[in-house]
Amino acid sequence: MSGLFSLEGQRALVTGANTGIGQAIAVALAAQGARVTCAGRRSSSETIAAITDAGGQAEDLLIDFADPLAAKGVFADAGYTLLVNNAGIIRREDAVSHSEADWDAVIDTNLKAVFFTCQAFGKELIARGREGAIVNIASLLSFQGGIRVPGYTASKHGVAGITKLLANEWAPHGITVNAIAPGYIATNNTEALRDDPERSRQILERIPAGRWGNPEDIGGTAAFLCSPAARYITGAVLNVDGGWLAR
């Protein structure tokens, strides 16, 4: 495989790749020729089967990003050139009741682990003089406030900021750093919303595209941002939301 969108010869690590958006990203990268490591606290056997059945290359890596430094030793001498930080958690509670434990858990996984995983990846590439790409998964709540998710909103605003900072520092090394802000995507995490007729109607009425997004919508965007076609894109937070933020 060759061309602007080819990832042939690249090795990618995708966090939280066992289901949903992370799974779609791993499959999309593999479809363009990347060898994909599916990293997370649960096995990604279903994702790996989908990739290998299609003729791609993938392996599992059990790692819990509740420990922000969990990936510290993953990249040394491993040949990774692509990193997608998708793993994340959410804790819902009114701001007046949001506990310190919930705050710390969300910030550790969604923000601190993202930074230190990027740091370990970038340090390896810079030391070896290799180019690469990072894609962080942000959120509509990187731009909006949301309700009853203070830790999550803070973490996703932070992801957008870290993305821009790293893009500034690492552009001279040939490392692009971008983020995707998914809109309302049909995954397990949004099942309750989709099953609520009134809430689903309200959401769909605001989306100009008139539909919920599919995980594949995010997968294709991530593959593009990892590809040679996006070599001059860095520091961007790309909304993939069917037009939600434009309304």
As a whole number, the mean pLDDT across the chain is 96
Report the run of H or E that residue 60 belongs to, with start and end: strand 57-62
Say what the pLDDT of residue 232 is. 98
Q: How many CB atoms lie within 10 A of CB 174?
A: 15
What is the Cα–Cα distance from 159 to 110, expressed in whole angstroms? Answer: 8
pLDDT > 70 fraction of the chain, expressed in percent and rounded = 99
* pLDDT tens-digit series, residues 45-103: 999 999 999 999 999 999 999 999 999 999 999 999 999 999 999 999 999 999 999 99
Q: What is the DSSP annotation of 108-154? A: IIIIIHHHHHHHHHHHHHHHHT--EEEEEE--GGGTS--SS-HHHHH
Say what the pLDDT of residue 1 is. 45
Q: Domain 11-246 classified CATH 3.90.1280.20?
A: no
Say what the pLDDT of residue 173 is. 98
Say what the pLDDT of residue 135 is. 99
- Three-state SS string across 217-239, please? HHHHHHHHHHCHHHCCCCCCEEE
- Cβ neighbors of 170 (< 8 A, separation 6 or more) are 122, 126, 177
- CA distance readout (Å), 60 to 12, 39, 49, 103: 12, 6, 11, 29
Say what the pLDDT of residue 192 is. 80
What is the Cα–Cα distance from 106 to 89, expressed in whole angstroms? Answer: 6
* pLDDT tens-digit series, residues 164-191: 999 999 999 999 999 999 999 999 878 8
* pLDDT tens-digit series, residues 28-44: 999 999 999 999 999 99
* pLDDT tens-digit series, residues 102-121: 999 999 999 999 999 999 99
Chain mean position to CA 89: 12
Say what the pLDDT of residue 115 is. 98
Among this protein's residues, is 152 annotated catalytic? yes
Query: What's the average model confidence in pLDDT over 235-243?
Result: 98
β-strand partners of 82: 12, 133
What is the Cα–Cα distance from 134 to 163, expressed in whole angstroms? Answer: 9
Say what the pLDDT of residue 169 is. 98
Catalytic choice (80, 152, 184, 232): 152
What is the Cα–Cα distance from 167 to 150, expressed in whole angstroms? Answer: 26
Say what the pLDDT of residue 2 is. 61
Q: Kindly state the tokens that stand for 53.
A: 């059945």
CA angle 224, 230, 236 (to 5 degrees): 95
